[in-house]
Amino acid sequence: MPFPTEFEDRLKEILPQRPDGIFGPRAWQSFRINTLKTGVQEAWDALSRAQVDFRKVDFCPYAVLVPKSAARELLKSDLVADGLLYAQGLESILAVMVLDPRPGEHVLDMCAAPGSKTSQIAMLMNNQGTLKANEPVAQRVYKLKSVLRLTGARALLSSVDGRRMRPEGEGFERVLVDAPCSCEGRFTLDEPKSFAYWSVRKIKEMSHKQKGLLLNASRFLKPGGTMVYATCTFAPEENEEVVDWFLRKTGGGFELVPPALNAIKTYPCLSQWQGRSYSFPGGTPLRILPDERMEGFFIAKFTNSHYK
């Protein structure tokens, strides 16, 4: 089943040179080694003993890639059932790497379920400090709790629309806004259900919601803090437009920081879209190209511009 014509037309403007195969099935499944429960070398040794074909990941020491055929069996193993390995997309892992949470800090994950990034944040903090995980959809909080329990991650949970949250206490050194989006970066041609509900109307609805989430999240950030905004979509209305709007709305109070990531397939952000121009003082967000290892993603990193 082909993609909707309107989506294809938009994509030609966003990605003029479209590499072959970016919407094909992913050849690899990525797993995060959960260092709250095991060491990296110990996990490698366990995979070798189980005769699992795996590859190390050049940009992340605690991630491994497993062929999809082998991943199905690995997902049934004790390594996964006991929370030593956790199936998590590399693009998801990257967002938390850019956030760079550290032990002892106060960190907020504003849109937390299902818990992949939340548990990774807790892992990098070594469960030291304060991690608040908010999930607005009550039913999804159960999944979040399950993932935290499985991985041994600790977090304070809340369930409220992120746009309605109110700052309490001293604020947070780091805030993650992994925003709900139109999910275009997850589209695959062999899974029509992945794009069955796509529409420009949905994109506009998501953009409006994302702006509210990002603006309110900024109110929780301590001076000198780091905030990361991420989506898994191509749509400029949900990416460049949200970032540009936020920078203008906050009147110079925040600026972009170039994410320090290497060995990642990226492509340029847009400076204009459908008659609108975008400006990114201080740095440029990352547009991550889908490939055989990961889905498409967008990451923007901010800091309070008056505190460096």
Question: What amino acid positions are annotated as catalytic residues?
Answer: 232
Give all strands (DSSP E) within the chain, no chain letters.
Answer: 28-33, 55-57, 60-67, 85-87, 106-109, 130-134, 156-158, 172-178, 221-231, 254-256, 266-267, 272-273, 276-277, 286-288, 297-304
How many Cβ atoms sit within 10 Å of the Cβ of residue 304? 18
One-letter amino acid of 153: A
Cα separation, 63 vs 187, whole angstroms:
23
Place of tokens 């203008």: 248
265: tokens are 């397939």
Nearest Cα to 179, choosing from 143, 205, 148, 155? 205
Q: How many CA atoms, within 13 angstroms, populate the side-chain half-sphere of residue 100?
A: 11
Cα separation, 298 vs 238, whole angstroms:
9
Residue 142 CB contacts under 8 Å (≥ 6 apart), including other chains: none
DSSP state letter for 118: H
End-to-end CA distance of the chain: 50
Answer for the pair 177, 227: CB distance below 8 angstroms, yes or no: yes
